[in-house]
Amino acid sequence: MEILGLYNYWVFGALLMIGFFALIARQNLVKKLLGLSIFQSAVFLLYISLAKVEGGTAPIILDPTAAEIFSNPLPQVLILTAIVVGISTTALGLAIVVRIREAYDTIEDDEIRRLDRRS
Amino acid sequence: MIVVFSLFLLSLLVVTAIAIVRSENLFSAVMLSGIFSLLMALNFFILDAADVALTEAAVGAGVSTVLLLGALALTPTEERRRKRERKVAATLVTVTMIFLAISYASFDQPRIGDPDAPVHRHVAPWYLEQTPELIDIPNVVTAVLGSFRGYDTLGEVYVVLTAGIGVLFLLSAGRPGLLPHRREPRIESSLKSHLIPHVVGRVLIPFIVLFGLYVQFHGEYGPGGGFQAGAIIAAGIILFALLEGEGAALKVLPPRVLVGLAIGGALLYLLVGVACMLLGGNFLDYSVLAADPVTGQQIGIILIELGVGLAVTGTLLSIFHAFAAREQ
Amino acid sequence: MSLEAHIPALPVIVPLLAAPIAAYLRPRHLAWAAATLASIASFAIAVLLALATRDGSIHRYAMGGWPAPFGIELAIDSLGALVLLIITGASTLAIIAGRETIERDIEPHRQPLFYAAWLMVVAGLAGIAITGDAFNVFVFMEISSLATYVVIAAGSDRQALTAVFKYLIMGTIGATFYLIGVGFVYMMTGTLNFADMQARLADIPYVAPVHLAAAFIIVGLALKAAVFPLHAWLPNAYAHAPHAVTAFIAACSTKVTILVLLRFDFVVFMGNIAEHATQFALFVMPLALLGILFGSGVAIFETNVKRLLGYSSIAQLGYILLGASFVDRAGLLASVLHIFNHALAKGALFLAIVALGHHLTRFEIRDLHGIGRRMPWTLGAFSIAALSLVGVPGTAGFISKWYLIVAAFGQGSLGLVLVGVIVASSLMAVVYLWRILEPAWFAAADPVAAGAADDKRVGEAPVGVLAVVLLAAALNVWFGLVPAFPLELAGHAADELLRHVP
C-alpha cells in the first residue's frame, strides 16, 4: 500500500520520458508537437497528484462550518495556468509547421535539414 | 476499489502515450491524443481537481484536437517511414536514465494523499481558511486564481493572447509562389454531408453555448470560470463552423470582432487592475472596488473572469479561423 | 497611495497595456509609435528603479495587496533593476533603429501584430526580472518565449521558420524542466516565494527530491539561456531573425534567464544543500570554459556575420557563468557587470547590422567587402563595439574582463589556467572580428557577392538609424571610461546574492 502512494510519480516519470523520446527521436514535426504535449501533461499530473489529500474532496466550501477535508487548491490553480500555456504553445507550433510545410513541402525534420544544407 | 481503478487509469495513460508515439498515421495519433486528454481529465477528477479536469477536457480533448486537425488539413497526414531511425538508441538510454533518477527520488517524496505532506501545511490551509472570510465565495480555486494569484492569471491571459497574435501573424503571411498548393481532403466538408452528425450537432450547439455561459458565471460557486467557459463556448462555435461551413460562422462573428474580443478581454482584466490602483489600492487589489472589501473582491473576480472568458473565446476562435482561412 | 509606490509594478503594466492596443492600431505607423512610446516609458521607469536600488535596497510590491507568500510579490533588487535597464534600453534602441527595415521586410497588414508581439517580449522579460515568485517566473517566461518565437519567425527567409521551430521545442523543454523543478521544491516546502522557499527548505530531512529539483532547474534554465552544450537553437535563431529583433534579443533575452538561474540557485539552494557551492562550481565552471573555447573557436570559421556573432554570444555567456562559478563577491560582480557590458557591445554590433541592412540583403563576410568606404560611420560604430567585445582598454568590455581576470586570480592555482582561457578566447575574438573588419574596411567590393550593395543606392543609413547606432557605440566608450554606475549596481547584486550563501 505504501508503495502504491508513489505510483503517480512513476507514471509522471514515464509520461515525461515518452514525450521527451518523441521530441528527440521522431522526425515528423507534428509528432514532435504531440510529444511536447505529452511531455507537458506529465507535469500536470505531477502537480495535481501533489494536491490530493486522502479522503478529501474538491476545494469548494459550501458550508464553512462543516469539518470537511479539501484537496489543495494551489497546484490546481497553477495547472490551470499551465494547461493554457500548453495549448498556446501547441497552437503557435502548429502555425509554424504549416508555414514550414508551405516553404519546404515537407514536415520531416531530416528532409528539411537536407534541403537547408543544399541551399 | 477506487485505488485499483485509479491505478488502472494511470496505466492506461502510459499505454495511450506509447501508442501516440508509435502511430505512423497522424490522424490516428491526433485522435489518440484526444483520448489521452480525456483519460488525463478522468485522472484529475479522481484526484479531486474538478476545475482542472473540466479545463483539460475542454482544452485538451476539444480545442487542441480541432486545432491539430485544422493543421493536418494543411500538412501530410502520414509520417514518412525510414529504413533506419536516427538517435533512437541513444535517446532511449537517456530517457531511461532520467526515469530512473525520478523514480529513485520518489522514495524520498511524500506519499500521494498524505495529509501531513509539506504541500498541505503552509500556504494551502491559509487559502482554505481565509477564502470564506476575505472573499466569501465557495470555490477556493476561483478565489486563488482570481484574487490571491490574480497576477499569474493576468499573465496567463496574455500568454493566450500572444499565441493568438502569433498565429495570426504567421498565417497572414503571403504564401510562397514556388510550391503548388496540394489540396488535402478537407475535414469540414466531410461533416456537412453526414445527416446524423449534422442534426445532432445542430441540436447540441445551443446547449454547449448555454453550458459555457453557466460555467462562466457559476465559477464562483462550482467548478468553472473564464478559461473553461471560453474553451467550451469556442468549441461550440467551432462545431457550428464545422457543420454549417466557415462562412456561416464568420458571418455571425467576423474575424475583426474576434480579435476585438481577445484584445478587449485582456484589456478589461488589465484595466480592472489599473482601476484598483487609481482607487488607492495595489494593482489588482479588488478590495477597493466597493465600500465593503469582500464585495469589492467579488466584483473584481466577476469582472476579471469575464475578461478571461472573452479573451479565451476570441483568441481560440481567431486561431481556428486562421488555420481554416489558410486552406482557401 | 501615491504614484511612486506603484513604480515597481509599472515595468510590466506599461507594455502589457500598450501591446493589445498596438495590435489593433491602424495605420501601422501608429502601432510603431505606440510600441516605441511604451518602450521609452518602460526605459524611464527602469532608470528610476535603477537609481532607487543604487543604495542596495530592495523594492517590494504586493500584487493584489496580498502579502507574500500568499500573494505574488515583486522584489526588485540591483540585479533585477540592472537587467530591466538592459531589456528596456535594448528594446527602445532596436525599435527606433529597426523601423525602416521592418517596414521593408514585413507586409504592412502584419506590422501591428509584429509590434504587439515585440511589446509582449518586453513585458515578459521585464516580468521575469522583477518577480519574487518561482511560478510567476514560469508564466512570464512563457509570455516572453512565445512572443520571441513570433518576432523571430518574422525573418524573411524560410530558415527563420526552422530555426524558430527548433527554438520552440528546446525552449519549451527548458521551461517545462524549470516547472518540474519548481514542482519538486514546492512539494518539499509548500511555498512558491523564493525567500520563503529558502527559509523552509532548511528543515527538510530528505535530500533526493531537492537535488533532483536543482538538476531540473539548472538544466532547464541552461537550455533556455543557450549555455554550452545546450546552445543549439541560438546561432540560427540569431542569424535568421529580422535584424532589429536580433539586436533586441541578443542584448537581453539569454541574460534574463541567467538572472533566474543565479537567483534560484543562490537564494534557494546555496544555503540549503550541503556542499552546493562546490557542486555548482564543478558543474558550471567546465561548461563555462568549454563554452568560451567552443563559441570563439566556431566563430573563427563561421562565414555568416550574424551567426558568427551568435557563436560569440555563446562564448560571452561562458564568461558570465565563469564569474558566477567562483561563488565569491569578485566573481559575481564580474559576472553581473559582464551581463551589462556584453549587452552594450553585442547590442551595438547588431544595431550596426540593422544599419548595414539598409543596403545589404545577405550577411556573408564577403558581402561586407568594401562597405567601409560607403558606410564609414556605421562601420566605425561596428568597429568600436567590436573593440568593446574583445575587451580593449577604454571600452566597457575591458572593465568586466579586467574584473573577471582579477577574480580568476583569486582562485588560487587554478587561476592561471582560467586567465589563460580568458586571454586565449579574447585573442580568438580578435581573429574572428578582424576577419570581418579587415576586408570591410580595406577590400574592394566583391562583384559576385549576391547581397552586396548595389552602387546606385550606396550611402549611409538614414540619419535617425545612424544616430542610434552611434549612440550605442558611444555608450560602450562612456561605460568604459566612467563605469561607476554599473559597478555600483553589480556590487550590490553580488552582495545580495551572497547574502544567502553560508
Q: Which tens digits make up the pLDDT trace of C392-431?
A: 999 999 999 999 999 999 888 888 999 999 999 999 999 9
Chain B contacts in chain C segment 21-80 (CB below 8 A): 21, 23-24, 61-66, 69-72
Chain C nearest C-alpha distance from A57 (Å): 19
Look at chain C and count its residues: 502
Q: Is the pLDDT of residue B183 over 70?
A: no
Q: Is the pLDDT of residue C451 over 60?
A: no
Domain limits, chain C: 288-502
| 3-state DSSP helix/strand/coil % of chain A, to nearest 5 | 75, 5, 20
Most confident of B243-247, C22-26, C169-173, C225-229: C169-173
Q: Is the pLDDT of residue B132 over 60?
A: yes
Chain B nearest C-alpha distance from A12 (Å): 9
Confidence band, pLDDT 50/70/90 cuts, at residue A60? confident
pLDDT of residue C455: 52
CATH topology of domain A3-52+70-118: Helix Hairpins (1.10.287)
Q: Is the pLDDT of residue A5 over 50?
A: yes
pLDDT of residue B184: 45
Q: Which residue of B has its CA nearest to A93?
A: B167
**Neighboring chains of C (3 or more beta-carbon pairs < 8 A):** A, B
pLDDT of residue A7: 87
**Can you tell me the distance from the alpha carbon of B118 to that of B110, in angstroms, rounded to the nearest whole number?**
8
A23 contacts on C by Cβ (under 8 Å): 169, 173
Chain B nearest C-alpha distance from C110 (Å): 6
Q: Is the pLDDT of residue B188 over 70?
A: no
Q: Is C294 on the interface with B (CB under 8 A)?
A: no
The neighbouring-strand residues paired with C59 are C76
Q: What percent of chain B has pLDDT over 70?
A: 92
In sequence order, which ranges of chain B are alpha helices (DSSP H)? 2-22, 26-46, 50-55, 64-72, 88-106, 123-134, 140-143, 150-171, 187-192, 195-217, 226-244, 246-252, 255-278, 293-327
Q: Of B104-118, C48-62, C94-108, C406-420, give the lowest mean pLDDT range.
A: B104-118
A96 contacts on C by Cβ (under 8 Å): 149, 153, 161, 164-165, 168
Chain B nearest C-alpha distance from A107 (Å): 7
- Cβ distance A23 to C159 less than 8 Å, yes or no, reads no
Q: Is the pLDDT of residue C151 over 90?
A: yes
B266-314 residue pLDDT tens: 999 999 999 999 998 999 999 999 889 999 999 999 999 999 999 999 9
- Cβ distance A81 to C186 less than 8 Å, yes or no, reads no
C71 contacts on B by Cβ (under 8 Å): 148-149, 151
3-state SS assignment for residue B108:
coil
C19-52 residue pLDDT tens: 999 998 878 889 999 999 999 999 999 999 999 9
Q: Is C271 exposed, middle or buried (0-12, 13-18, 19+ CB in 10 A)?
A: middle
**Can you tell me the distance from the alpha carbon of B302 to that of C322, in angstroms, rounded to the nearest whole number?**
50
C135 contacts on A by Cβ (under 8 Å): 78, 81
ipTM of the complex: 0.95
Q: Which residue of B has its CA nearest to A21?
A: B91
Q: Is the pLDDT of residue B213 over 90?
A: no
Chain A nearest C-alpha distance from B314 (Å): 13
Average pLDDT, chain B: 86
pLDDT of residue C331: 94
Average pLDDT, chain C: 91
- List the single best residue of A88, A99, A104 to mutate versus B (max B Cβ within 10 A): A88
- Cβ distance C161 to A29 less than 8 Å, yes or no, reads no
Q: Is the pLDDT of residue B175 over 70?
A: no
- Other CB atoms within 10 Å distance of the CB of residue B28: 13
In sequence order, which ranges of C302-413 are alpha helices (DSSP H)? 305-325, 329-356, 371-374, 376-390, 396-409
- Cβ distance B159 to C142 less than 8 Å, yes or no, reads yes
Mean pLDDT, residues B133-149 taken together: 91
Rounded to 5°, angle at Cα B253 from B249 and B256: 125
pLDDT of residue B205: 83
- Other CB atoms within 10 Å distance of the CB of residue B22: 11
Domain limits, chain A: 3-52+70-118
A28-48 residue pLDDT tens: 999 999 999 999 999 999 999
Pairing of strands C59-62, C73-76: antiparallel
pLDDT of residue B38: 94
Chain C nearest C-alpha distance from A65 (Å): 23
A26 contacts on B by Cβ (under 8 Å): 21, 79
Instruction: Write the CB contacts of A5 (distance below 8 Å, at least 6 apart in sequence).
Output: B111, B112, B113, B114
Q: Is C433 exposed, middle or buried (0-12, 13-18, 19+ CB in 10 A)?
A: buried
Domain limits, chain B: 1-77, 139-172+186-328
pLDDT of residue B176: 56
